[in-house]
Amino acid sequence: MNDPKNDFLQSRRRFFEQVGLGAGSLALANLLQSEGLVSATSTNPLRPRYSHFGSRIKSVIWLFQTGSPSQVDTFDYKPELGKRNGQPLAGADPKTGFFTTSGKCLKSPFEFKQHGQSGAQTSEIFPFISQHVDDIAFLYSCYSQSNNHTPAMLEMNSGMIRQGFPSMGSWITYGLGSENENLPAYVVMHGTKPRGADPIWSSGFLPSVYQATALDPRQAKPIANLDRPKDLSQPQQRALLDALRTANKRHATARPFDRDLTARLESFELAYRMQTTAPEVFDVSREPEHIREMYGLNRNESRDYGKQCLIARRLIEQGVRFVQIFAACPNTPGGGVGDVPWDGHSDINANHRACAATVDQPTGALLADLKARGMLNDTLVIYGGEFGRTSDSQGANGRDHNPHAYTTWMAGGGIKGGTKYGATDEFGYKSVEKRVSVHDIHATVLHLMGMEHTKLTYRFNGRDFRLTDVAGEIIHDILA
């Protein structure tokens, strides 16, 4: 005859044994998932996902020079312009730009010097960036499709000159998910919003969960509406979100083909988690004084841009995959305005000196800081605008828009530093050698992130779309 007390003890031991094994299994599954060793079973659309092949980098920082710097006044040295200053520019089209140009050569007002072992020529307005030329691959032969700021910025971000297509940051987030569940995977920082504004970094037809979180670090609270209401405690907020989640999940279950419902559910949860994580990341006062000075936070000209660059480094330290900074410099002289600061229509000298004073020191500091921390090995830094500028003059001393030639540079993981790729003609007017399209740039970035650009697709309106559309070649010559 069995002892009831013994049966109870046996059952009790078995119960705790099974609970312990179950809890251990759940912990192991979570650990393996976080390490990428097993597939996630979560329905969270931002869960980390496998790349197509081994990635060279973990994150991207894109320093977008809004308004477009002149290639011949920054990194593409053209002494022939100086020799023929004021003479007719062979092959010049006065309608190349957005307005009308003179058709006469305009020399650069800046001195150029060689730097580093690579001997790369850079303008005098970039004393800090010039220190890093041996870590940089210069793409001198870029070209784009539009001579208008908004469609050109749309193309640089989405591959298309029309609105409604996903930006590169959204595509990367869709392809790889997020490494930090408490912060967005894709962050955009700006002062004055660039011309074209939110559609430039839109998720387009991708689910809205892959949309960028856009913010202005100049504000006391960079992310609007993030704080919990003062009359609501943390447990009360959690209870409200749980009730809302239950109702929304029931609603979503009945509508399985509504792609935005799951995204909306995740957005509530992400905002809740960000309430404690985001303020700390954006608080640059936590950085040592010498770091803040290195980024130019002690100078009026570079304070705002320097803060953005420093925050970008702090974000990728926390696992954010894609950070994009849109340079803004209010009341820029020489033709530029806050939303297109590098737009030197009337005075390229005054305009580019002012813009360089804003971005040069912080950009150099970002490269130096990443390298010192060992982070440049797995971070890609991209620098450039939406098009170039004309080699002939607009008015007396300005330059108009030029989609036929501009310089973009890359530095960091997977990049062969000290590389000079492609070439423009002797006046810097048109790209002529190893021409680089926007799709080529996108294909190369995706490759470094471990994704085959022809396989990163999304079906919309009966067609498989991709960031590079039906084009794009990886620029293998700049890869290490």
Q: Say what the pLDDT of residue 247 is.
A: 74
Q: Shortest CA distance to 358 belongs to which of 372, 371, 342? A: 342
CB atoms within 10 A of CB 164: 12
Q: What is the pLDDT of residue 369?
A: 98
Domain 59-227+259-478 CATH (choose: 3.40.720, 3.30.460, 3.40.30, 1.10.760): 3.40.720
Q: Which residues of 249-288 are buried (b: 16+ CB within 10 A; e: fewer)?
A: eeebeeeeeeeebbbebbbeebbbebeeebeebbebeebe
- Where in 175-333 does DSSP place strands (E)? 186-190, 213-215, 322-326
| Amino acid letter, 13 | R
What is the rounded distance in angstroms from the CA atom of residue 384 to the CA atom of residue 386? 7
Instruction: Indicate the residue type of 163.
Output: Q
Residue 8: its pLDDT value, please? 46
Residue 267, pLDDT score:
63
Q: What integer pLDDT is reported at residue 2 of this predicted model?
A: 47
59, 320 contact by CB (below 8 A): yes
Q: Distance of CA 366 to CAs 62, 133, 295, 324, 479, Å?
A: 12, 14, 7, 13, 21
Distance CA 340, CA 358 (A): 13
Q: Which residue has the tokens 């730097």?
A: 115
Do 113 and 124 meet the contact criterion of CB atoms below 8 Å apart? yes
- Alpha helices by DSSP H, 49-95: 79-83
Q: What is the pLDDT of residue 11?
A: 54
pLDDT at 328 (0 to 100): 82
- Cα separation, 241 vs 27, in Å, equals 25
Ramachandran category for residue 379: left, alpha or beta (phi over 0 → left; psi -120 to 50 → alpha): beta
CA-to-CA distance for 272 and 252, rounded, in angstroms? 20
Contacts of 322 (CB under 8 A, 6+ apart): 59, 60, 62, 168, 169, 172, 173, 185, 186, 187
pLDDT of the residue at 46: 85
Distance in angstroms (rounded) separating the CA atoms of residues 37 and 173: 20
**For the chain, which residues make up each domain, given as ranges?**
1-38, 59-227+259-478
Q: What is the pLDDT of residues 264-314, one digit of tens each?
A: 666 666 665 666 666 788 889 999 999 999 999 999 999 999 999 999 999
Beta bridge partners of 402: 388
pLDDT for the residue numbered 259: 61
What are the mean pLDDT values of the chain's consecutive 10-residue runs (480 residues total)?
48 50 45 45 77 94 97 98 96 94 98 98 98 98 97 98 97 94 91 93 94 88 67 68 70 68 63 65 92 97 96 95 90 88 97 97 98 97 98 97 98 97 98 98 98 97 96 98
Alpha-carbon gap, residue 350 to 354, rounded angstroms:
6
Side chain identity at 343, as an amino acid letter?
A: D
Greatest CA separation found in the chain? 114
Distance CA 400, CA 392 (A): 8
